[in-house]
Structure 1
Amino acid sequence: MDAESFSSSISSSSKTQSRRPLQEHAIPRHQLPRQNSDRYIADRFIPVRSAMDFDMAHYFLTESKKEKENAAAASPSKEAYRKHLAETLMMNRTRILAFKSKPPAPVDGIFQESCSDNVSTHQLKSSKPRRYIPQSAERTLDAPEIVDDYYLNLLDWSSSNVLAIALGSTVYLWDASDGSTSELVTIDEENGPVTSVSWAPDGRHIAVGLNSSLVQLWDSTANRQLRTLKGGHQSRVGSLAWNNHILTTGGMDGLIINNDVRIRSHIVETYRGHQQEVCGLKWSSSGQQLASGGNDNLLYIWDRSIASSNSPTQSLHRFEDHMAAVKALAWCPFQSNLLASGGGAGDRCIKFWNTHTGACLNSVDTGSQVCSLLWSKSERELLSSHGFTQNQLTLWKYPSMVKVAELTGHTSRVLFMAQSPDGCTVASAAGDETLRFWNVFGTPEVAKPVAKSTNTGPFSNINLIR
């Protein structure tokens, strides 16, 4: 067994006993954050210049030096003046550096208003307040029986604000708008467990990849299975990616298959290049380029125009720079040809690629296994999740790659991440059987709720094939 697919030595039965899926996680008392008390209020002191005694400070600093230099030459009158000054200072002595608990309240008046009027509009716009990033999870839910396997993809968040997570052989749906939980499907032992889940762009239909090489398509609103895609892979399907009505599947057999879910003969293209399991798949925002990562340490860029005009085995780029499995992939939202990729435990690097030229723009050693990557939708920032030793989420500023924050709390590697539709909240699932929600990318803007669409769109012609 390789480094990416090791399992916890603690048996699943001991960890999942009497725990219900997607319920609030009970935190042990000794792990609760320490409450602030009154005696910690004044832990920061700010010096106030108006309360400082500079005369006394100057006297004490220069007294001993002057005594040595001028002891012999000092006149009786100067000596008397010196003693008198010292007595006066000692009688009115205050601390050299004085502190106050808080600054005085501002005085409202004409002068203050006139000062405010002189501040230019440009200055007001440029003084952007620094974003507060909470260091602890906003919410923690139990996720018993989640498969601790680096190569799988068991978490996804839909455009309709519903989170899907596969726990063992069951797919659960958690509605983020009201916190309700429902069970979509439980797979039988012959085909299970679930190895991947992925929401379609419409936020209603979801693909479920299975250990048996099958892929099921479900209507989450009607809680109904629409069809089963089969005949493409010979082993488990661990990665899925949607491109409008095209569902791309990646298998342990190394194959990448494009399936048109609208037609009966659903296999329309097959990409051959990976020699081992395909564990990462991501389509670019334009739908023209597909990035694939595998356990063979390879990263491919496939272009639909090249594949359709020539051979589907012809890739646009083949990168061999990573030294471990490439699972974490993320296309940049503000630069269409920029791709970020992350390597496993033997690599630990995040690399950035220009997919037009094939150039590696940068490589950053994170110090630990890179499990998943997410770009911010509003800031030039990248979030990565990691394994040993800290099992943390790290927020990076792009392109400087300066660490903005490190979020800790998981006690096992953070295998999966998913981003909310508004782009502000990130859900992370780890081998510690918890699902945590982090307010990483800011506060969402208040918007009118969008009614869930009942129109099937490109899925109206899905054949009900079992």
Structure 2
Amino acid sequence: MHSSSSSRNISSGEKSPMKALSQNRTPGSSKTPKSKSNSGKSKKQPKTPKTPTAGDRFIPNRSSTQFDVGYYKIMNENLAKKDEADTRSPSQVQYQKIMNENLNGEILSSKIISYKAKPPTAPEGHQNSLRILYTSSKNSQCKKLTRHIPQTSDRILDAPEILDDYYLNLLDWSANNQLAVALAGHLYLWNAGTGEIKQLTEMESSDAYISSVAWVKEGNYLAVGTSEGVVELWDVFKEKRLRSMTGHSGRVGALSWNSHILSSGSRSGHIHHHDVRVAQHLQGNVAGHTQEVCGLRWSPDGMYLASGGNDNLLNIWAAEGGRLVPQSQPLYSLTYHQAAVKALAWCPWQPRLLASGGGTADRHIRFWNCNTGSNVQSIDTKSQVCAMLWSAEHRELISGHGYAQHQLTIWKYPSMTKVAELTGHTARILHLAMSPDGSTVVSAGADETLRLWKCFAGSEQKKKAEKNNKALVPGMIRLSTIR
């Protein structure tokens, strides 16, 4: 009934209120009705769609598709309910996560299907000449942080006659807060708590010199390498030499402890492993380098030994129970660096991650996954890399450099953005060491100075540092002499 009445109203021509309102408008305000006919005007032709540059059918590229990752994700979703009843501790879950990242990379965030082929990778060492004019990324700038990093050294110690030799390791800081530094043929200890300085030993021959020092983890014994190929073991509390271990045919430029095993690297390219508890101390002898061994570091868990040499080679050796597996060849022999490899540092929170730095002709810091031997990341520092240290608290890396600025650079890992640059040395930085609490870094330079930097101080340590700085006369530098 309603439909029939409405049709009669429309057909009878009765005016609706809206029509009446439209008739009251002025002629100028009324809109011209659109003509339904096509006379006088032609329809607009639709625009031709642009041809997609990457394909319009989105057909996956089978050569770039990660089928294994896809299968893993599907199976991982199916087992999600079973994982809810997992009884593992948070530390075990974190450990397994780190191991998965080291072995397989970041799987969960990776793409499975690829719709276009990846461009070919450039060969190692390739320099793009167009990058000078057209670059896709900006140079890394110093990142602003909430914590305060002093730009000047907290203290300066005079170190006369320190040898300007890139291949030696003449500085180390003990767990008992004693700093050992070798100045030519003399070995000095500086107590960072009391400021006391004493000479521990002196070479008998005027031509001989100390070429390396290394504290045992507990800090009560000090290993000393000499230019005569001898490794000495000292009890610093009794100021007594416990033993002298011979066997090297050249100077001993690198030392590293692994519990009771002391490893030493020499100019001949050989690495000796000494058990300091027994009379027959030599437990192993490997020749992994054709030139001088200048870098030697055991991993924190004692499972790997990294050695760097003047032959531009980085070797990684495997160990079981604190002893090297009997072998004539390293587990991995890595040839990416184009200069001597001295700077070595194991990551404290990822024990399978190793950082290595190259000399003047290389200038790169590289990161290695020691489970696979792969180079996971690298960065060009634009200057010689002489030494490196990790900060476990701030998850940062500090590196000491040579020409041209002789600076210390703090990097945020893994983004490798610059956090700060610390300058003050007038010659290249030779060695770095960290205090037991991880707050202070000491740098030894070829300008015969040791500089202490409070670059990793916490909030409480920052307040103490500011309080001490207020007590100092402005412009004065506390200067002591190690001699």
- How far is the alpha carbon of 1:285 from its aligned partner? 0.6
Match of residue 196 from structure 1: 212
TM-score by length of 2: 0.64
The residue correspondences of 1:325-340 to structure 2 (distance < 5 A) are 325-340=340-355
Q: Which amino acid aligns with 1:138?
A: D
- Pick one of 317, 323, 329 that aligns with 1:302: 317
Match of residue 380 from structure 1: 395
Match of residue 416 from structure 1: 431
TM-superposition CA deviations, 1:337-380 (whole Å, max 9, x none)? 10000000000000000000111011100000000000002011
TM-superposition CA deviations, 1:13-66 (whole Å, max 9, x none)? xxxxxxxxxxxxxxxxxxxxxxxxxxxxxxxxxxxxxxxxxxxxxxxxxxxxxx
Match of residue 222 from structure 2: 206
- How far is the alpha carbon of 1:440 from its aligned partner? 1.0
RMSD: 1.7
TM-score by length of 1: 0.66
Structure 2 Cα separation of the partners of residues 438 and 280 of structure 1 = 23
User: Residue 275 of structure 2 contacts residue 282 of structure 2 at CA under 8 Å; is this kept in 1?
Assistant: yes
Match of residue 436 from structure 1: 451
Q: Which amino acid aligns with 2:209?
A: P
* 2:228 pairs with 1:239: no
| Bigger shift: residues 404-413 or 298-307 | 298-307
Q: Which amino acid aligns with 2:359?
A: G
Change (3 A) 1:308 1:386: closer
Change (3 A) 1:317 1:228: same
Match of residue 195 from structure 2: 179
- Pick one of 143, 160, 164 that aligns with 1:148: 164
Change (3 A) 1:218 1:191: farther
User: Residue 300 of structure 1 contacts residue 315 of structure 1 at CA under 8 Å; is this kept in 2?
Assistant: yes
- Pick one of 134, 138, 163 that aligns with 2:179: 163
Structure 2 Cα separation of the partners of residues 244 and 444 of structure 1 = 33
Structure 2 Cα separation of the partners of residues 410 and 228 of structure 1 = 36
Q: Which amino acid aligns with 2:436?
A: P
User: Residue 261 of structure 2 contacts residue 322 of structure 2 at CA under 8 Å; is this kept in 1?
Assistant: no
Secondary structure (helix, strand or coil) at the match of 1:304 reads strand
TM-superposition CA deviations, 1:57-81 (whole Å, max 9, x none)? xxxxxxxxxxxxxxxxxxxxxxxxx
Match of residue 335 from structure 2: 320
Identity of aligned residues (%): 54
- How far is the alpha carbon of 1:305 from its aligned partner? 3.4
Match of residue 305 from structure 2: 290
Unaligned regions of 5+ residues in structure 2, if any?
1-143, 462-483
- How far is the alpha carbon of 1:270 from its aligned partner? 1.4
- Pick one of 326, 334, 352 that aligns with 2:367: 352
- How far is the alpha carbon of 1:311 from its aligned partner? 3.7
Secondary structure (helix, strand or coil) at the match of 1:241 reads strand
- Pick one of 271, 283, 302 that aligns with 2:286: 271
Structure 2 Cα separation of the partners of residues 374 and 241 of structure 1 = 15
User: Residue 145 of structure 2 contacts residue 419 of structure 2 at CA under 8 Å; is this kept in 1?
Assistant: no
Change (3 A) 1:429 1:444: farther
- How far is the alpha carbon of 1:312 from its aligned partner? 2.8
User: Residue 270 of structure 1 contacts residue 313 of structure 1 at CA under 8 Å; is this kept in 2?
Assistant: no
Match of residue 342 from structure 1: 357
Structure 1 Cα separation of the partners of residues 173 and 201 of structure 2 = 17
Structure 2 Cα separation of the partners of residues 310 and 195 of structure 1 = 28
Q: Which amino acid aligns with 1:136?
A: T
Secondary structure (helix, strand or coil) at the match of 1:441 reads coil
User: Residue 143 of structure 1 contacts residue 433 of structure 1 at CA under 8 Å; is this kept in 2?
Assistant: yes
User: Residue 307 of structure 1 contacts residue 315 of structure 1 at CA under 8 Å; is this kept in 2?
Assistant: no
User: Residue 319 of structure 2 contacts residue 325 of structure 2 at CA under 8 Å; is this kept in 1?
Assistant: no
User: Residue 326 of structure 1 contacts residue 341 of structure 1 at CA under 8 Å; is this kept in 2?
Assistant: yes
- How far is the alpha carbon of 1:216 from its aligned partner? 0.9
Match of residue 441 from structure 2: 426
Unaligned regions of 5+ residues in structure 1, if any?
1-127, 447-466
Match of residue 255 from structure 1: 270
The structure with the largest alpha-carbon Rg is: 2
- How far is the alpha carbon of 1:313 from its aligned partner? 1.4
Change (3 A) 1:309 1:331: closer
Q: Which amino acid aligns with 1:368?
A: S
Q: Which amino acid aligns with 2:168?
A: L
Structure 2 Cα separation of the partners of residues 237 and 169 of structure 1 = 14
Q: Which amino acid aligns with 2:339?
A: A
